[in-house]
Amino acid sequence: MNPSAQKTLSVKTLQINGKDVSAREDQTILDVARENGVFIPTLCNLDGLTPVGACRLCLVEVKGSRRLLPACITQVQDNMEVSTNTETLVKYRKMILELLFAERNHVCSVCVSNGHCELQAMAQKLGVDHIRYPYLYPKLAVDASHDRFAVDHNRCILCQRCVRVCDEIEGAHTWDVQGRGTASLVITDLNQPWGTSESCTSCGKCVQVCPTGTLFEKGRASGEMTKREFLPYLTLMREERV
């Protein structure tokens, strides 16, 4: 159970897009925005996993702050004035998505997740109709050594959902990240082929939470990799059991 729920929480009042809202002190801007029906785009965020602020899509403007702040990891404060949809933010969000596309080799037409991809859906929603940056075309291999699953780094946006779900929910911590910047890669165990990993329990949670076609079940053809939303039930059941 969330330990903070046991003590009394003070209520904060703030403004989102000029509208007065109230929140518990342990909530993030993203939590409050969603409660109040305000859309803030996210990719790395997933209910049930610790937020990490990796994708930067949820950046918002807060009056008095010179930096843009990631809504998923910024806690509410009294009298905050938050803007979620300014011209600057719209511009930066599109830019972030374009850079994600330019960084790896995202070929939607043949991807297992075509039509069920969160990156693709977000690009459509935010109106990304072309990429202004030169593609890097990194030469990345597919690791299909696991009996049931494969990882195609060409489609990875480094959201780290796989790393978090494996660590926090399954408790195996098979996945981690190596390298820095655009050269980062998700790896299994000590950067060895997935099929040789000792810690992997083959539970498939990482595959289910992957927002793109990076992690997929082998044998799936183009557009066939649909995912189940198991995480909310799983976290709920665990909370009730405590």
Partner 1 sequence: MGKQIVIDPVTRIEGHSKITIFLDDKGEVQDAQFHVTQFRGFEKFAEGRPFTEMPALTARTCGICPVSHLMAGAKACDALMAVQIPRTATHLRRIMNLAQIVQSHALSFFHLSSPDLLLGMDSDPAKRNIFGVLEQQPQMARDGVALRKFGQQIIEMLGGKRIHPAWVVAGGVAEPLTAEKREKIVAMIPDAMAIIQRTLDWYKDTFEQFRTEIRTFGNFPSMFMGLVTPHEEDEHNALLEHYDGVLRFVDASGNIVLDNVDPTRYLDHIAEAVEPFSYLKSPYFKSLGYPNGIYRVGPLARLNIIDRPGTPKADQEWTEFRALRRGVLLSSFHQHYARLVEILYGIEKIEQLLNEPDILSKHVRAFAKPNKHEGVGVSEAPRGTLMHHYKIDDNGLITWVNMIIATGHNNLAMNRGVAQVAKHYVKGSKLKEGALNRVEALIRCFDPCLSCSTHALGQMPMRIELLGPGNELLDHVQRA
Helices (H) and strands (E) in the chain, counts: 6, 10
- Number of residues this chain uses to bind partner 1 (CB under 8 A): 18
Nearest-approach distance from CB 145 to partner 1, in angstroms: 5
The one segment of 42-50, 59-67, 142-150, 168-176 that binds partner 1 by CB under 8 A: 142-150
Query: What is the per-residue DSSP string for 172-224?
Result: ---EEEESSGGG-EEEETTT--GGG-SS-----HHHHH-SSSSEEETT--TT-
Q: Which stretch binds partner 1 (CB under 8 A): 5-13, 47-55, 62-70, 109-117?
A: 109-117
- The smaller minimum CB distance to partner 1, of residues 69 and 144, is found at 144
Angle subtended at Cα 53 by Cα 85 and Cα 169, rounded to the nearest 5 degrees: 130
Among 17, 36, 145, 202, binds partner 1 (CB under 8 A): 145
Give the one residue of 130, 141, 180, 242 binding partner 1; rule: CB under 8 A: 141
Residue 203, token pair as written in the block: 């539970």
Instruction: Report the relative pairing of strands 149-152 and 215-217 from DSSP bridges.
Output: antiparallel
Does 150 help bind partner 1 (rule: CB under 8 A)? yes
Residue length, the chain? Answer: 242
Quote the crossing angle between the two packed helices 118-125 and 87-103, to the nearest 10°. 140
- Tell whether residue 136 is a contact of partner 1 (CB under 8 A): no
Asked whether the beta carbons of 76 and 29 are under 8 A apart, the reply is yes
Residues between 166 and 225 that touch partner 1 (CB under 8 A): 195, 218-224
Q: Does 112 bind partner 1 (CB under 8 A)?
A: yes
Where along the sequence are the contacts to partner 1 (CB under 8 A)? 109-110, 112, 114, 141-142, 144-145, 150, 152, 195, 218-224
